[in-house]
Amino acid sequence: MGRGSPTSPMRTDGPIERFPVFPTFCWWPSGDDGCVSPTVLVVDDDPAFRQLATRLLDAVGLFVVGEAGTVAAALATAERLKPSAALIDVELPDGDGIALARVLAALPWHPRVVLTSVNGDSTTADEAKKAGAQAFVFKAGLPDAPLARLLGGE
C-alpha cells in the first residue's frame, strides 16, 4: 500500500497522516512529495481556551502540534517542535506575549504569529505587526477570523 492511501492511514516509521477533515493532513520526511498542513503552537495560560482554540484551528484545517501556558514553555516547545505558526495570548503569567511574538517570528523557520486577547487595550494591530505578528484578533472574534490565511498562509 502506498503512502497516504486510505487503506494505510498510519505509517510506523514516523510520519503522521490524518484524513478525517479537509484539507488532508500528511506529514512526510523532507524531500518527499505529500501535502502538509500548517502546524500551530497554541500559547495561553487558560487550559480551557487552549482546548477551544485547538478545536477551532482543527476545524479550519490547521494542526495543533503543541500547547504552552507560559512564555518559557512556549519557547522550549517551539524550539523542540518547530511549528509553522503560533497563536499567542498577549497576557501570560511569566511575560509579555508581544515580546514572545517578536522572538518566535525571528526564529530561523519564521513561524507565522497571531496575537490574541480578551482585553482590547492590551495591544493594537500596529503593535502586533511591529512585533512580527500577522494580526491581532480579539478572542471573541477568533471564530470569524481568517485563521487558515493568517496562520497557514493560505
Please give the pLDDT value at position 34.
52
Show the domains of the chain with their CATH numbers.
Answer: 1-36 (no CATH), 37-152 (3.40.50.2300)
Phi, psi of 149 (to 5 degrees): -75, -45
pLDDT digit of tens for each residue in the chain (154 aa)?
343 333 334 333 333 333 333 333 444 333 344 556 899 999 999 999 999 999 999 999 999 999 999 999 999 999 999 999 999 999 999 999 999 999 999 999 999 999 999 987 888 889 999 999 999 999 999 999 999 999 998 6
Q: At what angle do helices 71-81 and 97-105 cross, to 10 degrees?
A: 20
For residues 62 and 152, the answer to whether their CB atoms sit within 8 Å is: yes
Query: Per DSSP, which regions of the chain are E strands?
Result: 17-18, 25-26, 39-43, 63-68, 85-89, 91-92, 95-96, 112-117, 135-138
Please give the pLDDT value at position 120.
78
Please give the pLDDT value at position 37.
81
